[in-house]
A and B are shown apart, each in its own frame.
Chain A
């Protein structure tokens, strides 16, 4: 049976607030699926339900056909997870922490040392293997967390923003690792469009707790990017609501979306405006715009689907 992740009418409420609303998602087979959406969209919530960290208010989450809420032990039997940024018992070494997971996941005794050494080598943490985790930086801990997903030869790997807290080199190393896992089912959340475009074949887009689309990147791009131009503008400082509003008011600009702290994605009407005119008017705002680049197809599609969010 091919590996699978299924969400059926998954709903999560926190008091009055609905973080996740009737999410239906069926992922089957070995591939890498990007789970994309702005901050607060419900990505982590979905993944926490899939891994038994929280319970859905309604609906079912299945991994390899097994209900996580009723039998997490079986559901996660062939699954490796990295949700948010876990901490490791501070007085354990990476080797000990990883060998705890090997034992829990049933990696045979004779394979454990090699698996752990290989995993630590993959994340460039070999020389720290026997030092206590307590003194590690955030990025070093996250490297060990990434290593923890490589131990047990899992069929399904769930990664929630695995590159968060890592330096640029670490981020690119994680991308390489994820790409090498394409012979499994990888479900990876991210708010970085470039990361998803580079490593994933398929993308699920979520906003305000609702699934907007799930398809291959080509199809999503073809279906939703049409019409108008799209550019990404980088600013020297953080993008706030006021800045976004000023950019939105520029003539010809049809939508603006924050793609991360310092970047705005804009769509514009090509009938009104050419790209060079847009560059001039953004620069004319004197708001600290420092980079200006044409958006990719996926970015364009993201803009069409996710509107007016900060």
Chain B
């Protein structure tokens, strides 16, 4: 037996790359990538057709910025949430439920390297999806407003991508928390699409508190940046006879939004990693 010398110890950074590479290959070949691709192509196709046919004033009368705000601004978050849940929601739970972890984990590799590698693969796959959706919106924008791509659209894309990173961290944390992959995917979608929005509304409308603790509130900067002027941080609208009631609504400023997104990225990444490190392969 040759033992020494026939193998070099592989560093953990290299392990991250290896885990990312093969997981990406698996994503790229799997049906779900194409399901996701089909979903966003349908959304983009419907938008293109409806705008082309009806020319709604919200889209075409507000200049290029208004156009991108109505299209990309309203739908980017949904694409982000769906792809984070699709690619990240069962990334870890699937290793347990499908027993693929039994092939990968009992090897000379740290669990953290597996986690980060899978996270990068999922992020890469969903970045492709988000990028294709952005290109479709851009193509539409250039058709109606040729020659002018507003700088804010690039900013909005960057914010949407940051939101994707945060949503992916959160989906991974959920996938580490649950052993059943359908539950972890469903929980990620429900949380990101509904629960956070309800929290936003309840917090500002009922309690009159700025929902600085909510991920979707922070992600509001994706569409906020596309409205001119940038929405006020706090609006108080009188309501009812003689303005007896007031409705308070909040909007995250760009620095606030960036901070909220960054905090979610870090906290959820750490939480998910700790959960995965402690999780046991029992059947």
- The finding on whether chains A and B are genuine partners in a shared complex, rather than unrelated, reads yes
Chain A interface residues (CB < 8 Å from chain B): 14, 48, 51-55, 72-79, 81, 83-92, 96-97, 100-101, 103-108, 111, 132, 145, 148, 152-153, 155, 158, 183-184
A83 touches B102 (CB 8 A): yes
> Interface with A: B24-32, B210-218, B225-233, which one?
B24-32
> Interface with A: B53-61, B62-70, B107-115, B154-162, which one?
B107-115
Which residues of A are found within 8 Å of B280, using beta-carbon distances? 53-55
Instruction: Given A76-B106, A92-B22, A183-B1, check contact A153 B10 (CB 8 Å).
Output: no
CB-contact partner of A91 in B10, B29, B98, B281, under 8 A:
B29
Chain B, range 1-53, C-beta contacts under 8 Å to A: 1-3, 6-10, 12, 15, 18, 21-23, 25-26, 29-30
6 smallest A-B Cβ distances: which pairs? A86-B102, A51-B106, A91-B29, A86-B103, A53-B281, A81-B106
B18 touches A103 (CB 8 A): yes
Q: Closest CB of chain A to B254's CB: distance in Å?
A: 40
Which residues of A are found within 8 Å of B23, using beta-carbon distances? 89
User: Closest residue of chain B to A71, judged by CB?
Assistant: B110
Which residues of B are found within 8 Å of A103, using beta-carbon distances? 10, 18
Which residues of B are found within 8 Å of A52, using beta-carbon distances? 105-106, 111
How many contacts A-B (CB < 8 Å)? 119
User: Closest residue of chain A to B29, judged by CB?
Assistant: A91
CB-contact partner of B102 in A55, A87, A89, under 8 A:
A87
Q: How long is the Cα–Cα vector from A205 to B185 in the complex, in angstroms?
A: 43
Which residues of A are found within 8 Å of B15, using beta-carbon distances? 104
Per DSSP, are chain A's interface residues mostly helix, strand or loop, or mixed? loop
User: Closest residue of chain A to B112, judged by CB?
Assistant: A73
Chain B, range 227-283, C-beta contacts under 8 Å to A: 278, 280-283
Q: How long is the Cα–Cα vector from A108 to B8 in the complex, in angstroms?
A: 8
Instruction: Given A87-B98, A153-B1, check contact A72 B281 (CB 8 Å).
Output: no
B108 touches A77 (CB 8 A): yes
User: Closest residue of chain A to B33, judged by CB?
Assistant: A91
A89 touches B106 (CB 8 A): no
Q: How long is the Cα–Cα vector from A225 to B249 in the complex, in angstroms?
A: 83
Known: A92-B26, A96-B22, A105-B10. 4 other contacts (CB 8 A): A52-B111, A73-B110, A84-B99, A184-B1
B9 touches A145 (CB 8 A): no
B8 touches A76 (CB 8 A): no
Q: Report if B74 contacts A (CB, 8 A).
A: no
Chain B, range 77-127, C-beta contacts under 8 Å to A: 98-111
Q: How long is the Cα–Cα vector from A4 to B100 in the complex, in angstroms?
A: 27
A97 touches B103 (CB 8 A): yes
Instruction: Given A76-B108, A105-B107, check contact A91 B26 (CB 8 Å).
Output: yes
A76 touches B107 (CB 8 A): yes
Which residues of A are found within 8 Å of B3, using beta-carbon distances? 78, 153, 155
Which residues of A are found within 8 Å of B103, using beta-carbon distances? 86-88, 97, 101, 145, 148
Q: How long is the Cα–Cα vector from A55 to B22 in the complex, in angstroms?
A: 27
Which residues of A are found within 8 Å of B30, using beta-carbon distances? 90-91
User: Closest residue of chain A to B113, judged by CB?
Assistant: A73
Q: Closest CB of chain B to A180's CB: distance in Å?
A: 12
Which residues of B are found within 8 Å of A107, using beta-carbon distances? 6-7
User: Closest residue of chain B to A79, judged by CB?
Assistant: B108
Q: Closest CB of chain A to B108's CB: distance in Å?
A: 4
Instruction: Given A84-B283, A153-B2, A153-B3, check contact A105 B108 (CB 8 Å).
Output: yes
A48 touches B281 (CB 8 A): yes
Which residues of A are found within 8 Å of B109, using beta-carbon distances? 73, 104
Q: How long is the Cα–Cα vector from A74 to B107 in the complex, in angstroms?
A: 10
CB-contact partner of A89 in B1, B22, B110, under 8 A:
B22
B7 touches A87 (CB 8 A): no
Q: Closest CB of chain A to B131's CB: distance in Å?
A: 22
